[in-house]
Amino acid sequence: MLCIKNPDTDPHFNLAAEEYVVKNFSDNCFMLWRNRPSIIVGNHQNTLAEINYEYVKENNIDVVRRLSGGGAVFHDLGNLNFTFIKNVDNNENKGDFSQYTRPIVEVLRNMGLNANFEGRNDIMIDGKKVSGNALNIQGNRVQHHGTLLFSSVMSDLSNALKANPLKFKDKAVKSVKSRVGNINEFLDEQMDVLAFRDRIMDYILNKYEDAELYEYTEEDRRKINQLKREKYDTWEWNFGSSPKYNFEKMVKTSGGNIEFHIDVQKGIMQDVKIYGDFFNTLDTEKVEELLKGTPHEHHQIKEKLDSIEFSKYFHSVEKEEFIEGMF
């Protein structure tokens, strides 16, 4: 089993690296990695419905879609991620989370913690969730990955994932909010997240007879970065892959209240209706028609609105506050 201790903290690179290893390596693999502040969205989720858009934008938090299902999770450098990639045959239970979380639970118990695998996909310590897990199956290879909240900033976690459920009506999977905790809250000994990472890697190397350390080659990194650019850096993957949804929101602007009703499919606004008590000189139906067929994305909406005399459609309304109201 190849054991990869990945020092990169770019979530776009790290998710591309997982896919690359799943599809291009033949060995069983174990990976440990961290991301800078980011929201990692499940494969079947509506991205905009899972994030606090304003908070994410203000704090430059990356938003990246992963291959596996499940709910959206917040990552920061106080969170350690682990990945098992295993070759399986048709007789194995490919959806068995416990076989992949068991070694992690063993590490935590060896550290004196009351850790257990509970529910559908969680590792708990004394009633608090410290790890969520997800699976992706690619042919005869299973990719299992999980979070390990060690010293994450919980206020950032809460704020980044806080979205108004009334804004969206869709059939996408909603993230389940759970009582969460950091592993270091339960420890008697003092250590940082990197020491915790090394503790886990040492355990895995000793547990599995065929385990050996592996570092990405220059060719590996070149191909991972190519996949990153072509897929994990793109709006089309991270936002445009969201299922069909209806967005509704009312905002108070400097020129009056504006209410948006937007139908979105594959990230593209199919229908836009704008209501409110604002004043206008020109018919706002022209703006609705202009925005139809535009990706539900800040920059591309701004480009469309820059092409018209915006103030004649919405007197005393700032263009930026209008756009913010669409998210």
Mean pLDDT of the chain: 91
Confidence of residue 137 (pLDDT cuts 50, 70, 90): confident
Residue-level pLDDT at 30: 98
Task: Give me the phi and psi of 51, to 5 degrees please.
Answer: -120, 155
Which whole number is the average pLDDT over 246-258? 90
Residue-level pLDDT at 323: 95
Give percent above pLDDT 90 in the chain. Answer: 69
Give 12-64 pLDDT, tens digit per residue.
999 999 999 999 999 999 999 999 999 999 888 888 888 998 899 999 999 99
Residue in 245, 164, 282 with CA at minimum distance from that of residue 274: 282
Confidence of residue 170 (pLDDT cuts 50, 70, 90): confident
Q: Which residues contact 155 (CB under 8 A, 6 or more apart)?
A: none
For every residue of 142-205, DSSP letters joined together read EEEEEEEESS--HHHHHHHH---GGGEEESSPPPPP--B--GGGS-SS---HHHHHHHHHHHHH
pTM (whole model) above 0.95 = no
**With 80 as the cut, is the pLDDT of residue 298 above it?**
yes
Q: Which residues contact 24 (CB under 8 A, 6 or more apart)?
A: 223
Q: CATH class for domain 2-238? A: alpha beta
- Which 3 state secondary structure label does DSSP give 266? coil
Reading the block at residue 50, the tokens are 């899972």
Q: CATH class for domain 245-324? A: alpha beta
**With 60 as the cut, is the pLDDT of residue 235 above it?**
yes
Q: Count CA atoms within 13 Å of residue 112 on its CB side.
A: 7
Which whole number is the average pLDDT over 113-129? 91
Q: Which residues of 40-59 are buried (b: 16+ CB within 10 A; e: fewer)?
A: bbbebbbbbbbbbbebbeee
Packing angle between helix 218-227 and helix 11-24, nearest 10 degrees? 110
Using the 8-state DSSP alphabet, how is residue 295 labeled? B
Domain definitions of the chain by residue range: 2-238, 245-324
Give 51-83 pLDDT, tens digit per residue.
998 899 999 999 999 998 888 899 999 999 999
122-126 contacts, C-beta under 8 A, 24 or more apart: 122/178, 123/148, 125/181, 125/183, 125/186, 126/181, 126/186
Give 184-220 pLDDT, tens digit per residue.
999 998 899 999 999 999 999 999 999 999 999 999 9
**With 60 as the cut, is the pLDDT of residue 177 above it?**
no
Q: How far apart are CA 250 and CA 258, in angstroms?
A: 6
